[in-house]
A and B are shown apart, each in its own frame.
Chain A
Amino acid sequence: AQSVTQPDIHITVSEGASLELRCNYSYGATPYLFWYVQSPGQGLQLLLKYFSGDTLVQGIKGFEAEFKRSQSSFNLRKPSVHWSDAAEYFCAVGAGSGGSNYKLTFGKGTLLTVNP
Chain B
Amino acid sequence: DGGITQSPKYLFRKEGQNVTLSCEQNLNHDAMYWYRQDPGQGLRLIYYSQIVNDFQKGDIAEGYSVSREKKESFPLTVTSAQKNPTAFYLCASSGSGFNEKLFFGSGTQLSVL
Q: What is the interface of chain A, defined by CB distance below 8 A to chain B? A: 9, 32, 36, 41-46, 49, 51, 90, 94-95, 97-102, 104, 106-109
List B64-113 residues whose CB lies under 8 Å from chain A.
90, 92, 94, 98-102, 104-107, 109
Q: Does B60 contact A (CB under 8 A)?
A: no
Assuming the contacts A102-B45, A108-B40, asked whether A41 and B106 have C-beta atoms less than 8 A apart, the reply is yes
List B19-63 residues whose CB lies under 8 Å from chain A.
31, 33, 40-45, 48, 50, 56, 58
Binding site of A, secondary structure by majority: helix, strand, loop or mixed? loop
A32 CB to nearest chain B CB (Å): 4
Binding site of B, secondary structure by majority: helix, strand, loop or mixed? strand
Q: What is the interface of chain B, defined by CB distance below 8 A to chain A? A: 4, 6, 31, 33, 40-45, 48, 50, 56, 58, 90, 92, 94, 98-102, 104-107, 109
Is the pair A32, B99 in contact by a Cβ cutoff of 8 Å? Answer: yes
Name the residue on B nearest A98 (C-beta).
B98
The one of B6, B33, B41, B109 that contacts A108, using a Cβ cutoff of 8 Å: B41
Is the pair B45, A43 in contact by a Cβ cutoff of 8 Å? Answer: no
The one of B33, B40, B58 that contacts A109, using a Cβ cutoff of 8 Å: B40
**Which residues of A have CB within 8 Å of B99?**
32, 49, 51, 94-95, 99-101, 104
**Which residues of A have CB within 8 Å of B4?**
43
Is the pair B105, A43 in contact by a Cβ cutoff of 8 Å? Answer: yes
The one of A9, A95, A99, A106 that contacts B40, using a Cβ cutoff of 8 Å: A9
Name the residue on A nearest B94 (C-beta).
A101
The one of A46, A97, A102, A107 that contacts B101, using a Cβ cutoff of 8 Å: A46
**Which residues of A have CB within 8 Å of B104?**
43-45
Is the pair A90, B42 in contact by a Cβ cutoff of 8 Å? Answer: yes
**Which residues of B have CB within 8 Å of A101?**
31, 33, 48, 94, 99-100, 102
Is the pair B90, A44 in contact by a Cβ cutoff of 8 Å? Answer: yes
Is the pair B101, A90 in contact by a Cβ cutoff of 8 Å? Answer: no
